[in-house]
Amino acid sequence: MNLKFGFAAIIATCLLVSCGTQENKQQDIITKEVEESKFLSPPLVSHIYTADPSAHIFEGKIYIYPSHDVESVVEEDDMGAHFNMMDYHVFSMESPDGEVVDHGKVLDVEDIPWAKRQLWAPDAAEKDGKYYLYFPAKDKDDIFRIGVAVADNPAGPFKAEPEAIKGSYSMDPTVFQDEDASYYLYFGGIWGGQLQQYRDNKYQPVGSGPYDGVPTGEEISLMPKIAKLSTDMLQMAETPKDVMLLDAGGNPILGGDNNRRFFEAAWVHKHNGKYYFSYSTGDTHFIAYGTGDNPYGPFTYQGNILNPVQGWTNHHSIVKFQDKWYLFYHDTELTDKTHLRNIKMVELKHNEDGTIETIEPIKK
């Protein structure tokens, strides 16, 4: 044996074993951290703060359109002024366990002619090879409107239309594409989302609180809105209508029913011919849902999809990818600050009777 070669081979072998051992130790540490975490799912993104994830399947990939949380000099208040988001990023994944790719900033408030501040939760849609980003922002008068920006691919960048959608108001827009290629815009959010300031689609300010000027106890709660979109996807094709949320007896959910009434974060998906309308109950922090027979509703309350997360807000989306359903949501694992959040995902399961298994985001 060549002693020099043999000695070198021994050293190389030791180094490989050492490297392998170090890699195994690192993997063991990561596995242990995940196992010991009190959270059901790890953050998808950690290099920036993200929230309100709107997930879609475009071009065979998972694309996520979240809001982009930032540390703000704006003081915290009950109307959410400290949620002072200024731009949007788009993220994509080849598969649910794949790498999350940040496609960078795709739209900035400075590039939206009519907008002044607060780019809150967006959504996206595709039609005829064009991609549309729907977003809320406060105009020059600090009134929330809903705008739309257009791109040639799902990763953007997006170019904003010069004006907000005519007749739009409040926030949390989401677009549902039905099987007949009709597109529906849902929107609305109380408290900082300003839905309580409108009656019959007209701005009639009543105060700053979630139900100021509106009886709460035995009165019907404020409902989310729906309007079919125009063929060019840039306007509403009809006057917005209430999306009625009912209890099991067929009665509208009341304003004092904080565990079931609508607060914000509308989302619609369809499963086995049924329409599922899901939403955040806001100050009670559930993601609740109801089912109905058409996009306009009414939707009958069925229960909760997601129990409260760490943090004050709860906001989600639901998407099907390769025969499995997934729930995207956010919490504050990275910071424990309610305005600096991180997006997550977990598998969602429909039961045989059409109900959805409730997900517990924090381990007991």
Active site residues: 52, 264
Residue found under tokens 């130790």: 25
Q: 224: closest CA among 246, 241, 210?
A: 241
The burial of 150, by beta-carbon neighbours within 10 Å (0-12 exposed, 13-18 middle, 19 or more buried), is given as middle
In 222-334, the DSSP E strands lie at: 225-228, 241-242, 245-246, 264-271, 274-280, 287-292, 299-306, 316-321, 324-331
Contacts of 21 (CB under 8 A, 6+ apart): none
* Rounded Cα distance, 286 and 2, in Å: 71
Check whether the bond before 252 is cis (ω within 30° of 0).
no
No. of helices (H) and no. of strands (E), the chain: 1, 23
Distance of CA 137 to the CA centre of its chain: 16
**Structural contact between residues 226 and 241, judged by C-beta atoms closer than 8 angstroms:** yes
**Structural contact between residues 141 and 190, judged by C-beta atoms closer than 8 angstroms:** no
* Rounded Cα distance, 235 and 227, in Å: 10
**Structural contact between residues 339 and 83, judged by C-beta atoms closer than 8 angstroms:** yes
**Structural contact between residues 112 and 160, judged by C-beta atoms closer than 8 angstroms:** yes
* Rounded Cα distance, 316 and 155, in Å: 20
> Which uninterrupted H or E stretch holds 6?
helix 3-36
DSSP state of 190: S
